[in-house]
Amino acid sequence: MINEKMHCNNFCQYLPLVGRVLIGLIFVLSGFGKLSDPAGTAGYMTAYGVPYANLLVWPVGLVEFGGGILLMLGWHARWAATALILFVIAATLVFHQFWNVNAAQMQMQQINFLKNLAIIGGLLYVVAYGSGACSLSKGCKPAEPSA
């Protein structure tokens, strides 16, 4: 019979890595999109009343792209997750005001608002518990069997 705790130690050590990659992917892709089309992104931001959108597009894109990469790699993951949390809070409050849109848009904006809350929840785990056993900061070695 396989020792269940030992099996989980060997398997579960990779779960934070998978979680970080899945959460980070949305930021890497979104940040790359912003940096690849700064004029389009600035236009979108301006439509929502964001001041200085032409200037803000660059730090916003870099925070998303760079923070997502750092999160995925597990290098300074707590700092990256904290920066991404602050970004998501601001973006959610500006772009997903479901309480302030017409009925046709309300459900989609509420879904996006709640999705962002879920992302914040995942990032809070990284802030609280770090990058996990398998990361650029800690390496990735097999878990020690426990007695």
pTM: 0.87
Each residue's pLDDT tens digit, 35-94:
999 999 999 999 999 999 999 999 999 999 999 999 999 999 999 999 999 999 999 999
Query: Residue with structure tokens 């949305």?
Result: 26
Give the per-residue SS3 of 24-92: HHHHHHHHHHHHHCHHHHHHHHHHCCCCCHHHHHHHHHHHHHHHHHHHHHCCCHHHHHHHHHHHHHHHH
Split at pLDDT 50, 70, 90, the class of 133 is: confident
- Cα separation, 128 vs 126, whole angstroms: 5
Extract the tokens encoding 38: 């700064």
Count how many residues are written for the chain: 147
Query: Residue with structure tokens 């309480």?
Result: 99
- Cα separation, 72 vs 58, whole angstroms: 21
